[in-house]
Structure 1
Amino acid sequence: MTQSIQQQQQTYSPAYFDSGAEDEIDLRELLAVIWRGKWLIVASTVVFSIAAVIFAINQPNIYRANALLAASNQESNKLSGMASQFGGLASLAGINLGGGGGTDQTTLAIEVLKSRQFFKEFLDKYQIKADLMAAKDWNLVSGDLSYNAELYDVQSNKWVRQVSTPKQTEPSMQESYQVFEQVLSVSSDKETGLITIAVEHISPIVAQQWVSWLIKDINLVMKQRTLQETSANISYLKEQLDKTSVAQMQTVFYQLIEEQTKTLMLAEANDDFVFKVVDPAVIAERKVKPKRALICVLGTLLGGMLGVMIVLVRHFAKGGENAG
């Protein structure tokens, strides 16, 4: 027993604790190392600060235009009423009236708005590819856009950029869509149900115009889809009406045709078919980014941290070599 205690005492001798203390980091030593390498830290901080300032200055101002929208509930309410009244019979007849737990018009319209097909039609209709892909600067006085000459030749109206395969000289629809996804945002407030459509661009005029076009076109697209579907439903119901001689079924078909006709008339008369504008987009007077002051501060901090890290790494690397 005595021999075991002596062995433990030898194991946990003062030399054991002293060896552990040697591995601890001395704060005073760290401060001394940092002080000796202060010029390297200062140089790193200055270099990064200057680079951050240059980067921030060269970044173009980005403006955001947004519009606040409310869902036009007339159509959805009408379809919900029809679905509850005639939903079962309409399903037997092969007609989908909606309102039965499927995607509502507002949600569908938002997804259509963000789809590639809608963007392709929007791109072709308004010819915005140059404004989207090659715009370089915006003149505050004249309101005109300038374009990157290495990408797009304004005089000849041709793309001149040098790219490698699979990219093409003129940006494709898919490449343009990827950029458009970054400048377009669509959000919905779960409490109020209001929808916000926003576009960011170096020109506040372009941003405001795109938002207005998007609202007008999505209402038009959804209106046309409903008109086509409703017209097809009416044609189908009339065909089924001619085929049946059962009085009860004829009554149901007449009622369905009447409701579909009302829906058709409502769609034709309503330009704000899906979205009503609560607060229209305006030309922004202030930029939303870049945050130049923040960029400069972060650049300075990054430079200082990098300088400190280099000094400490060099010191401990030398210490390890000396110990070896």
Structure 2
Amino acid sequence: MTTQITQNPHTSKSNVDAQFPQMAREEEIDLRELFAVIRQGKWLIFAITAVFAIGSVIFAIMQPNIYKAEALLAPAEADGSSGGLAALASQFGGLASMAGINLGGGGGTDKTQLAIEVLKSRQFVGEFIEKHQILPELMAVKKWHMAENNLSFDPELYNSDTKTWIREVKPPFKPEPSVLEAHKEFLKILAVSKDKESGMVKLSVEHQSPLVAKQWVDWLVADINRVMKERDVLEAMRSIEFLNKQIEQTNVADIRAILYKLVEEQAKTIMFAEVRDEYVFKTLDPALVPEEKAKPKRALICALGTVLGGMFGMMLVMVRSFSRKES
């Protein structure tokens, strides 16, 4: 046996209509109460906001100026060597791969992207820091003095008179920063980006000294070109050595002709590398000594600090009021 319950639509509608004014009144009361609480605690909110504002101003003033030097680079063309290697790749690619030679045209890694990854590698950064002796300028600078154009170092980290590291660290760290520490710190100030459409590369370095930032950009461009050139020259010389051994071991005239052609192309690679300093990157717009700081954004720091103080003050006033009401 089932019982059917019918609902009067007029009664239901009237109940709903009666609830909306009540909800609106409750919401209005809550908003009035909220504004009343904020109005009562306005002096506390003002005081907290003022403390945060003053603190943000002091913090912004204490931050040192950071300058950024930037260079615009273009991928260096392979000149005539690329055409010869590309032609050989289509004709003798199989033999070349057996010989362990990369003739190009095989969809391998982009040399520009490879150079960027090498530039950010631990080995390259470690050798760069060691070669130019810039570890104190990287990890122990306290302030750059514009008038004298010199750097002062943190006395708790580095003794500039004796040129020794005196920082106190726990094992396994040592007073002198390791390659891993230096690499992590260097990547914070180094920025390398490649435009996907044009292929142009921007390389920038940030430092407290604008002269140091500019000098490091110049050194980075020169060193990455040198390192990539040495890598390709060494690979070409090993390829030539291997091919000459293969020539001595074969008596087939056609194979010997192919091997001689491969030797010739590897010799061209070495020749083009030796006569060209800008091997991977050509400098379109060299780095200049920056005249204006890149950061910190002191006005933004002060504004954010003030807004944060106001929000914290209102939250504290409301929490205190509601806790008193509940108790």
**Normalising by structure 1, what TM-score?**
0.92
Give the counterpart letter for 2:82 in structure 1: N
Of the candidates 246, 271, 274, which is equivalent to residue 265 of structure 1?
Answer: 271
Please give the alpha-carbon distance, in whole angstroms, between the structure 2 residues aligned to 1:146 and 1:80: 54
Of the candidates 167, 170, 195, which is equivalent to residue 189 of structure 1?
Answer: 195
Please give the alpha-carbon distance, in whole angstroms, between the structure 1 residues aligned to 2:175 and 2:315: 44
C-alpha displacement of 1:164: 2.4
Q: Confirm whether residue 43 of structure 1 aligns to residue 23 of structure 2.
A: no
Q: Confirm whether residue 255 of structure 1 aligns to residue 287 of structure 2.
A: no
1:77 aligned residue: 82
1:127 aligned residue: 133
1:213 aligned residue: 219
1:30 aligned residue: 34
Please give the alpha-carbon distance, in whole angstroms, between the structure 1 residues aligned to 2:25 and 2:320: 19
Please give the alpha-carbon distance, in whole angstroms, between the structure 2 residues aligned to 1:193 and 1:47: 49
Superposition pairs for residues 109-128 of structure 1, below 5 Å? 109-128=115-134
1:155 aligned residue: 161
C-alpha displacement of 1:19: 7.6
Please give the alpha-carbon distance, in whole angstroms, between the structure 2 residues aligned to 1:23 and 1:181: 56
Please give the alpha-carbon distance, in whole angstroms, between the structure 1 residues aligned to 2:57 and 2:180: 34
Work out whether residues 99 and 239 of structure 2, in 8 Å CA contact, stay in contact via their aligned partners in 1: no
Give the counterpart letter for 2:53 in structure 1: S
Q: Confirm whether residue 104 of structure 1 aligns to residue 107 of structure 2.
A: no
Please give the alpha-carbon distance, in whole angstroms, between the structure 2 residues aligned to 1:164 and 1:272: 43
Equivalent residues, number:
321
Give the counterpart letter for 2:52 in structure 1: F
C-alpha displacement of 1:13: 8.9
> What SS is found at the alignment partner of 1:24?
helix
1:142 aligned residue: 148
Please give the alpha-carbon distance, in whole angstroms, between the structure 1 residues aligned to 2:124 and 2:5: 88
> What SS is found at the alignment partner of 1:258?
helix
1:314 aligned residue: 320
Task: Please say which of residues 78-87 and 99-108 is displaced more in the overlay.
Answer: 78-87
Work out whether residues 159 and 166 of structure 2, in 8 Å CA contact, stay in contact via their aligned partners in 1: yes
Q: Aligned residues: percent identity?
A: 53
1:68 aligned residue: 72
Q: Confirm whether residue 303 of structure 1 aligns to residue 309 of structure 2.
A: yes
Please give the alpha-carbon distance, in whole angstroms, between the structure 1 residues aligned to 2:5 and 2:236: 100
Give the counterpart letter for 1:95 in structure 2: I
Please give the alpha-carbon distance, in whole angstroms, between the structure 1 residues aligned to 2:156 and 2:5: 88
> What SS is found at the alignment partner of 2:161?
coil
Give the counterpart letter for 2:97 in structure 1: S
Of the candidates 295, 298, 305, which is equivalent to residue 292 of structure 1?
Answer: 298
1:57 aligned residue: 61
Of the candidates 93, 99, 113, which is equivalent to residue 87 of structure 1?
Answer: 93
Please give the alpha-carbon distance, in whole angstroms, between the structure 2 residues aligned to 1:250 and 1:82: 15
Please give the alpha-carbon distance, in whole angstroms, between the structure 1 residues aligned to 2:291 and 2:124: 29
C-alpha displacement of 1:140: 1.1
C-alpha displacement of 1:93: 3.2
Change (3 A) 1:13 1:268: closer
Please give the alpha-carbon distance, in whole angstroms, between the structure 2 residues aligned to 1:113 and 1:309: 48
Q: RMSD value over aligned CA atoms?
A: 2.4
C-alpha displacement of 1:292: 0.5
Please give the alpha-carbon distance, in whole angstroms, between the structure 2 residues aligned to 1:17 and 1:194: 63
Deviation readout 1:144-186 (Å, 9 max, x if unpaired): 0111111111111111112223332111111111110110000
C-alpha displacement of 1:269: 1.0
> What SS is found at the alignment partner of 2:148?
coil
Give the counterpart letter for 1:77 in structure 2: S
> What SS is found at the alignment partner of 1:318?
helix
> What SS is found at the alignment partner of 1:70?
strand
Superposition pairs for residues 164-183 of structure 1, below 5 Å? 164-183=170-189
C-alpha displacement of 1:97: 2.0
Work out whether residues 64 and 296 of structure 2, in 8 Å CA contact, stay in contact via their aligned partners in 1: yes
Of the candidates 224, 229, 234, which is equivalent to residue 230 of structure 2?
Answer: 224
Deviation readout 1:83-122 (Å, 9 max, x if unpaired): 2343222123332223311102211111100100001100
2:282 aligned residue: 276
**Normalising by structure 2, what TM-score?**
0.91
Task: Please say which of residues 159-168 and 287-296 is displaced more in the overlay.
Answer: 159-168
Structure 1: runs of 5 or more not aligned:
none
Work out whether residues 126 and 182 of structure 2, in 8 Å CA contact, stay in contact via their aligned partners in 1: no
Please give the alpha-carbon distance, in whole angstroms, between the structure 2 residues aligned to 1:309 and 1:28: 16
